Amino acid sequence: MNPTSAYQKISEKIALISATMKMLGWTVLGITLLGALIGVHALSAKIDEELKLHGDAIYGTGRIRIFEVKFRALLAQIELERRDGVSFQKHVQDLSEAAERGTALFSAYSNAGIVKDVTGRLAYTREVITPDGIVAGKELLAVWFPLERKIKAVAQQGDKLNPAVIADALREADQSSLKFISLSERLAREEDNYHKAKLSRLTLSRNLLGLYFAATTGLLIPLVILTGRMEKLRESETRFRKLFEDSAEAILILEDGVFVDCNRAAFAILGVTDPERIRHISPQSLSPEFQPDGRRSDEKAAEMIAYAFERGSNLFEWMHLRVDGTPFMAEVLLTPIQDKGRRRLHVVWRDITERKQAEQVRLKLLAELERSNQDLEKFAYIASHDLQEPLRMVSSYTQLLAEKYRGKLDEKADKYIFYAVDGATRMHDLIRDLLAYASVHKTESALPEIQCSELVRDALRNLSCAIESSRATVIVGELPVIRADRILMLQVFQNLIGNAVKFSNPNNPRIEISSRKEGREWFFEIRDNGIGIDPQFHERIFGIFQRLHDRKKYQGTGIGLAVVKKIVEQYDGRIWVESNLGQGACFAFSFPEK
Amino acid sequence: MSRKINLLLVENNPGDADLVAEMLRSNQSSCGLFHVSNGVEAMAFLRKEGDYNQSPSPDLILMDLSMPQMSGAEVLREIKTDASLRMIPVIIMSSSRSNHDVEELYSLQASAYIEKPIDLERFKQIICAIDAFWIQVVRYSLRGGNE
């Protein structure tokens, strides 16, 4: 075998492997060449020469360093081990264990024996070469094979190895597990047979630390071990880069106070077309002098960055400037990146200008609503107060008139006076109730717990006259504790129970007050066996000043249920009635669990 | 009943003022009634300023709450911060049902808060009650009056 042609073959192989690795996005850190039996001396000599020439031998397109070449040195190593008295078996065992732990940096297929890897650990191959020749140890294979997870023959005999085939094989390979893909078939051991064994084989060995890539080919059986360190990183970096670039969120990398990288979304948000415009500029120069809270941007930015490093992340709102100087509100997320001791930050910007604007509109509307509510309350108060004054005059003086001139005027005059007084009195009642309705609003402060049973007891006491005169039987069931304004809830119960009494059955009137819980709500029921309500009026009765009956028969302004509805709805409850004419009524309302 | 009790009525509404006067009269009250129609006049009366330099010092004040320029509450505050006037009991009459008003006026040292009723009969009862208690029963400082 011509050493030069052998060397060329190796070179070609290395070029092929390098191309493959590059294609997969790996970094080639090192190559270990193990010579084959034939022409090994010449090969070593050739590589030695190359090393002398360049220091680093460059093969193919990858940057390749040759770590270890010398076959004879390996042999010497074996000799040394032997002389040390450490058994070969022991070495093999050590290596196997190391491999199992995922710490063996090295494995190789070769006709060579124990080799030393870049870290100085011993590695072994399936066959051991001694100065006496090849020892194909069957016992060694027995140790070796349990470590093999998968045997993949990438190419069949006579195939040409091409990068795409190898790349496919590698993609299939499990990323994380210890994997040795070794030659499934032994090359012929006898020197004579090498010529015949035109196998194109690929040996891949992987462990957690890296990829060992070995290929053999027909004639020479050169073994090339490429140490591609942390190829996974590289691969994930490619993936990350794509994610980074394609992300809809603006992502920037901040290092030592300046942006060193950013994605397309960041350009878009800033209105930049030339990436160089934001490279090496600071976040402060993309900010106005002061933030909306009045703090200086530079001071606050330093604080935010320090906080991110301290806490592991920092999410906050920040006013930035586009390159044309228009401000935008951003939600900024800073996350430190541990990277070779550098102080790097992963920065995400989300343009929240629209959200902010919507928020402002919302706040403005709320303020307007608040103001208009206040105005309304003030109006109701003033109106009721000021309307009552002249009304009192009408009422008082008509009454005075009636008193002073009783009998001096005719009967008709007395009737007119009655109408005037009655009208004024009714108007007074309406105004009073309108005021009560307008002033229903729950307090914002923490609500106290109230025992509904006590509330109902108080309501019944307030209604005692009406209840006694109606001779109604009142049954009060279990009632819960709720959180609400006491006075408002008393109004609810008093109005509903009062109605039940007012519209009660003249014979054997009966009123039941009960509650039950469903989900996160309480349901209260006030049920009577009274006159009932035609379903067509079920909606209407909750309206303000809605009455279904003659005032002479049933007194009231028609405000009670409207007040009750308003109160219940203020607590996110609902109120309704179930009833038919003449069949009693059941007023029910829901109330959220405290 | 050694001397006549002077009652100052501070009432902006002439209708109400007449009603009070009418009711007191029909109850044959023994008090001397003086009427001013707003807070500014009330303070002038109390301090005997201008036209009121001959006015007596009232023993009791019956005052409406809603008045122009100076509200009843403001007048009350001024009376109670004036050392020479603060001993005069002030009864507030108002058509306001607001609890806030009630609390505010009592905290300003009102002696009583009375809601003006719509019903004439009730109004009469109230005035009679005031007469029966504040005029007939209560004893006032001897420094009061104009004797």
- Partner residue facing B95 (CB), from A388, A399, A425: A388
Burial A152-177 (b: 16+ CB within 10 A, else e): bbbbeeeeebebebbeebbeebeeee
The secondary structure of A500-547, three-state, reads: HHHCCCCCCCEEEEEEEEECCEEEEEEEECCCCCCHHHCCHHHCCCCC
* A135 and A169 assigned to the same domain: yes
User: A559: closest CA among A399, A384, A372?
Assistant: A384
Under 8 Å between Cβ of B115 and B95 = yes
CATH assignment of the domain containing A326: 3.30.450.20
The answer to whether A424 contacts chain B (CB < 8 Å) is yes
pLDDT at A102: 34
Q: How confident is the model at residue B88 (pLDDT cuts 50, 70, 90)?
A: very high
C-alpha torsion A397→A403→A407→A410, nearest 10: 30
Q: Give the end-to-end CA distance of chain B in Å, rounded to a whole number.
A: 14
* C-alpha angle A437-A440-A441 in degrees, rounded to nearest 5: 155
Q: Which of residues 4-43 of B touch A (CB under 8 A)?
A: 13, 15-16, 19, 22
CATH assignment of the domain containing A413: 1.10.287
* A432 and A380 assigned to the same domain: yes
* A375 and A341 assigned to the same domain: no
Question: Has residue A393 been placed in a domain?
Answer: yes
The secondary structure of A275-342, three-state, reads: HHHCCCCCHHHHCCCECCCCCEHHHHHHHHHHHHHHHCCEEEEEEEECCCCCEEEEEEEEEEEEECCE
Q: Which residue has the tokens 């070796």?
A: A144
The secondary structure of A461-480, three-state, reads: HHCHHHHHHHCCEEEECCCC
The complex scores an ipTM of 0.74
- Helix, strand, coil in percent for chain B, rounding step 5: 40, 20, 40
List, for residues A505-547, the tens digit of each pLDDT value: 888 899 999 999 998 899 999 999 999 998 988 888 888 777 7
* A203 and A80 assigned to the same domain: yes
Question: Has residue B141 been placed in a domain?
Answer: no
List, for residues A232-291, the tens digit of each pLDDT value: 444 556 667 777 777 878 888 888 878 877 888 888 888 877 767 777 778 888 888 889
A429 — phi, psi (to 5°)?
Answer: -60, -45
CATH assignment of the domain containing B73: 3.40.50.2300
Question: Has residue B105 been placed in a domain?
Answer: yes
| Separation between Cα atoms, residue B82 and residue B93, nearest integer Å | 22
* A336 and A385 assigned to the same domain: no
User: Position B95: which residue type?
Assistant: S
Three-state secondary structure call for residue B137: coil
Question: Has residue B128 been placed in a domain?
Answer: yes
Question: Has residue B146 been placed in a domain?
Answer: no
**Minimal Cα distance from A391: which residue of B?**
B118
* A388 and A507 assigned to the same domain: no
Q: Residue A79's domain spans which residues?
A: 3-231
pLDDT-flagged residues of chain A (< 70):
1-239, 275, 339-341, 442-445, 594
Task: Return the residue in A382, A392, A437 with the most chain B beta carbons within 10 A, the one to mutate for interface testing.
Answer: A392
Task: Return the residue in A389, A401, A435, A488 with the most chain B beta carbons within 10 A, the one to mutate for interface testing.
Answer: A389
Domain boundary (A291, A325, A351) is at A351
Distance from CA of B100 to the nearest CA of A (A): 12
Question: Has residue A260 been placed in a domain?
Answer: yes
Domain boundary (A293, A317, A351) is at A351
* A346 and A362 assigned to the same domain: no
- Partner residue facing B118 (CB), from A395, A403, A435: A395
Question: Has residue B144 been placed in a domain?
Answer: no
Three-state secondary structure call for residue A123: strand
pLDDT at A72: 31
* A147 and A53 assigned to the same domain: yes
| Separation between Cα atoms, residue B120 and residue B115, nearest integer Å | 13
Instruction: Domain count for chain B, please give it.
Output: 1
Q: Residue B48's domain spans which residues?
A: 6-135
* A456 and A376 assigned to the same domain: no
Query: What DSSP character marks residue A112?
Result: -
Question: Has residue A242 been placed in a domain?
Answer: no
Question: Has residue B34 been placed in a domain?
Answer: yes
* A262 and A384 assigned to the same domain: no
Question: Higher model confidence: residue B5 or residue A255?
Answer: B5
pLDDT at A536: 87
* A194 and A223 assigned to the same domain: yes
- Partner residue facing B95 (CB), from A389, A397, A403: A389
The answer to whether B71 contacts chain A (CB < 8 Å) is no
| Separation between Cα atoms, residue A544 and residue A557, nearest integer Å | 9
Question: Has residue A554 been placed in a domain?
Answer: yes
Instruction: Domain count for chain A, please give it.
Output: 4
* A405 and A380 assigned to the same domain: yes
| Separation between Cα atoms, residue B21 and residue A295, nearest integer Å | 68
- Partner residue facing A399 (CB), from B98, B116, B120: B120
The answer to whether A555 contacts chain B (CB < 8 Å) is no
- Partner residue facing A396 (CB), from B96, B98, B120: B120
The answer to whether B103 contacts chain A (CB < 8 Å) is no
